[in-house]
Amino acid sequence: MKAVAMPTVSRVAVCGGTHGNELAGIYLVREMLKKRADGTEPVSVVTVMSNPRAAQLCVRYVETDLNRCFTRAALSAPVSETSPYEMVRSQELNALLGPKASMQAVDLLCDLHNTTANTGLCLITYSDRDWICLHICKHLQAQMASTPVRYVHFDIPLNEAYSLDSVGKHGFAMEIGPQPHGVVRSVIFSAMQEGVQLMMDWICQFNSGTLFEGGWVDVYTMVKNIDYPRDSETHVITAAVHPDLQDRDFCLLHPGDPMFLCFSGETLRYRGKEALYPFFINEGAYYEKGVALSLARKRRVQIPSVL
Amino acid sequence: MSSRTNVSCLHEARRVAIFGGTHGNEMSGITLVNMWKQNSAEIERNGLLIKPFISNPKAVEKCIRYIDTDLNRAFTPENLSAPDVEGRLYEVQRAKEINRMFGPKGSSDAYDVIFDLHNTTSNMGSTLILESSTDLFNLQMVHYIKKAMAPHTCLVLLNEHPQLKYSTTRSVAKHPIGLEVGPQPQGVLRSNVFESMRTILKHALDFIEFFNSGVEFPPCTIDVFRVQERMDYPRDTNGNITAMVHPHLQDCDWEPLNRGDPMFLTFDGRTILYEGANTVYPTFINEAAYYEKQQAFTTTCREILAANAIRKAFK
């Protein structure tokens, strides 16, 4: 593949507290905000507490999930005093860091998240050919010795992309688990701090003209979600994620493998025809969204050298 | 030689309640109680009235710990005797209702046993929580449960501390028992945690049934961890935490913590050491709900309690 020349990544946003109970990002943003910029930084970084009200209350959201409020429709909807807090806030963030899909948007938006699932560190994005994001992933994979780093891709067009990271010209959610909501685990905080630092290091080197060699990155593309089995009348869940699947994010799930253990004792198995990679297994915030786990296809993507 | 003179004769335990959802985001108990309300076959025992009950339904509906105030701290004498007034905190009102239904606390009309089902984000495994070192019925019950659960470990936490003991939902009953199983994030149902709690209750109900049928339980000893002290996070002048539980302490519930051992790691990478004079056994390490209660972990000391033989008193 030919080397690709790309514009400098001169404006970066690091956002935490998009969900107010995902504490590693909240504490990291607080620490970053304490350090005053002295104008000598090679890259301009804006650090944002995305949902301060939710962070203050230590809840995921106050009225509606902020990280679903960044579709084109949501960003252009008229807002008033009676609009949900997060709908107003998403438009504020879009004005500050975007506007989405415009030339004024920040070059890179890194949105910090935690999950109760055993995902390790994931960069979650809407593109499987964003060379900046893929190179950052490759860099983190090479440098982070004790944390698995993976690239997760949601194949959704920009207009319908609903999360904060879609506001930047390049963007990803940096998702790290497992961590319970409302808890900060030092190992998780340190991994997030290291991930953000390595991202900034890469950007600085890239901006100063370093050529980054191309290569291959495994990309996990989301295929479908699977809900819990539920009682047909009450809609209450009737099983838990099977112990053989619990905590086994990114371990290949084959047709016939156990998926759920019903309260009645029955095992429910994966009935798909294709072996897929499960992730976000048993994320606490997804019960209300009807998601027990997500399934992805993995493929190797070739990335060019960039400079 | 059995000492026939040293058998304590206790009243039959006829009325038993199983409380789930005292905290609305602790999913094992909520799921078990809802399951048993729909189909109680698994918890039925001869001669026992067993009532599965959701203590804080409004909090359960929203999947949050509490609406206005922590229900599991609300059963104080002041709250329980307060008059019914409009605008009262939801959980205070609820505490009074629960006291009417399952108490009154301290009276002979109160339920015999209440099991209160909880989860924790701490790595405590299966823990049974006692509020008294002299409740023979409870001591014998936890001894029975520990033996029945083996090789799965079931530890016993005793909170009899005059200042740190709190007025729990279960304290309405003559024999209150807390079941605390973790680690499990709030709002999440983990299969292994769910099944552990389910099995503990099965053994507990078996014990009560055996006791009521006249079985004599011989004298025994029980290893317990007695609550000593609450340790808060280091905080700044605004009350924000400035450090996290150190990686060497994280998940090490029940393991000895000695003077000089790492305790906290500040956000800028400095280690803070434990400086207590004696070895302690920390628990409730990094429980999500305790950040607001100024509790990074609780220290305990190990103790062995002795219990007399018990059997049901003849009428």
Are B167 and B184 part of one and the same domain?
A: yes
- The C-alpha of B136 sits at a distance from chain A's nearest C-alpha, in angstroms, of 33
Residue B1: is its pLDDT beyond 80?
no
CB contact under 8 A, B288 and A182: yes
Nearest by CB: B186 against A178, A180, A236: A180
Nearest by CB: B187 against A181, A187, A242: A181
Task: Specify the CATH number for the domain of residue B290.
Answer: 2.20.25.160
Are B234 and B156 part of one and the same domain?
A: no
Are B175 and B284 part of one and the same domain?
A: no
Give the residue from chain A lying closest to B64, CA to CA. A59
Are B275 and B203 part of one and the same domain?
A: no
Are B152 and B125 part of one and the same domain?
A: yes
Domain encompassing residue B146: 3-224+305-312
The ipTM (two decimal places) reads 0.95
CB contact under 8 A, A58 and B35: no
pLDDT digits (tens, 9 = 90+) for B157-186: 999 988 877 899 999 999 999 999 999 999
A178: chain B residues, CB-CB within 8 Å:
185
Are B49 and B185 part of one and the same domain?
A: yes
CB contact under 8 A, B244 and A240: no
Share of chain A above pLDDT 70, in %: 98
B265 and B248 Cβ atoms separated by less than 8 Å: no
| Full set of structural domains in chain A with CATH | 12-219 (3.40.630.10), 222-297 (2.20.25.160)
Instruction: Write out the H or E segment, with its range, that includes residue A296.
Output: strand A293-303
Establish, for the pair of chains A and B, how many residue pairs have beta carbons separated by less than 8 Å: 83
A113 annotated as a binding-site residue? yes
B6 and B310 Cβ atoms separated by less than 8 Å: no
DSSP string across B174-242:
SEEEEEEEES--TT---HHHHHHHHHHHHHHHHHHHHHHTTPPBPPEEEEEEEEEEEEPPPB-TTS-B-
pLDDT digits (tens, 9 = 90+) for A248-259: 999 999 999 999
Task: Specify the CATH number for the domain of residue B194.
Answer: 3.40.630.10
Q: How far, in Å, CA of A6 to CA of A132, rounded? A: 8
Nearest by CB: B191 against A30, A185, A246: A246
DSSP-based three-state secondary structure for A207: helix
Strands A170-177 and A108-114, by their bridges, are: parallel
Residue A43: is its pLDDT beyond 90?
no
B12 annotated as a binding-site residue? no
Question: Which residues of B form the catalytic set?
Answer: 180
Are B256 and B289 part of one and the same domain?
A: yes
Residue B4: is its pLDDT beyond 60?
no
Residue A36: is its pLDDT beyond 80?
no
Treating both helix axes as pointing N-terminal to C-terminal, what angle do A23-34 and A186-207 enclose, rounded to 10 degrees? 50
Residue A38: is its pLDDT beyond 70?
no
pLDDT of residue B87: 78
Are B135 and B241 part of one and the same domain?
A: no
Q: How far, in Å, CA of A268 to CA of A260, rounded? A: 5
Nearest in space to B4 (alpha carbons), one of B214, B216, B212:
B216
Are B212 and B238 part of one and the same domain?
A: no
Are B180 and B280 part of one and the same domain?
A: no
pLDDT of residue A168: 97
Residue B19: is its pLDDT beyond 90?
yes
pLDDT digits (tens, 9 = 90+) for B88-143: 899 999 999 999 999 999 999 999 999 999 999 999 999 999 999 999 999 999 99
pLDDT of residue B84: 84
Number of independent structural domains in chain B: 2
Are B244 and B261 part of one and the same domain?
A: yes
Rounded to the nearest 10 degrees, how much is the dihedral formed by the CA atoms of B277, B281, B285, B287?
A: -110
Q: How far, in Å, CA of B159 to CA of B166, rounded? A: 9
Q: How far, in Å, CA of A192 to CA of A113, rounded? A: 9
Are B120 and B245 part of one and the same domain?
A: no
In the DSSP assignment, the letter for residue A42 is S
